[in-house]
């Protein structure tokens, strides 16, 4: 018997949720799954993006009580496309506030890396993913 599918949430702070939304929704094409504004002291503004039905989503945390983003070169969110990266998609990500960067020889060989407005890196990998 295999275990039931689990859902993965990746949470990151953001300096500017509107800029993050332009990148992840307008640039990459994800959907807004949830949005909320802080209503009480100590709460955060939240923006959750992903694709309905997928088993993962990205939660972006903003507002005055959110931690400052501190991305490193190793903070990668990798999407395995199992095919070529569309140049038009990369242009849209750049228009939406992203910056094309190098993620090192391996990822440069197998895809394209774009930093989001907070500096976190999205790798669009030409490789496929197999868990077997």
Each residue's pLDDT tens digit in the chain (132 positions)?
567 778 999 999 999 999 999 999 999 999 999 999 988 888 889 999 999 999 999 999 998 778 899 999 999 999 999 999 999 999 999 999 999 999 999 999 999 999 999 999 999 999 998 753
- The CATH number covering residue 43 comes to 3.10.180.10
Contacts by residues 112-115 (CB-CB < 8 Å, ≥ 24 positions apart)? 112/85, 113/76, 114/90, 115/71
Same domain (yes/no): 55, 15: yes
- The CATH number covering residue 114 comes to 3.30.720
pLDDT at 26: 97
Q: Domain limits at 93?
A: 76-125
pLDDT at 66: 81
Give me the number of domains the chain comprises. 2
Cα radius of gyration rounded to whole Å, the chain:
15
pLDDT at 132: 39
Tokens of 17: 């949720």
pLDDT at 65: 74
Is 115 a domain residue? yes
Tokens of 93: 């990500």
How many Å apart are CA 112 and CA 32, to the nearest integer? 24
Using an 8 Å Cβ cutoff, are 73 and 85 in contact?
Answer: no
Residue that finishes a domain, picked among 25, 40, 62: 62
Is 20 a domain residue? yes
């Amino acid at each position: 018997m295999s275990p039931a599918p689990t859902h993965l949430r990746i949470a990151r702070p953001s300096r500017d949720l509107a800029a993050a939304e332009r990148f992840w929704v307008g640039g990459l094409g994800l959907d807004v799954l949830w949005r909320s504004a802080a209503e009480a002291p100590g709460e955060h503004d939240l923006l959750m993006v992903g694709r309905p039905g997928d088993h993962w989503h990205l939660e972006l945390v903003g507002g005055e009580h959110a931690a400052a983003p501190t991305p490193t070169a190793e903070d990668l969110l990798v999407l395995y496309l199992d095919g070529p990266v569309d140049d038009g998609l990369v242009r849209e990500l750049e228009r939406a506030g992203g910056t094309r960067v190098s993620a090192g020889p391996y990822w440069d060989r197998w895809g394209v890396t774009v930093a989001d407005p907070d500096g976190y890196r999205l790798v669009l990998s030409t490789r496929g993913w197999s868990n077997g």
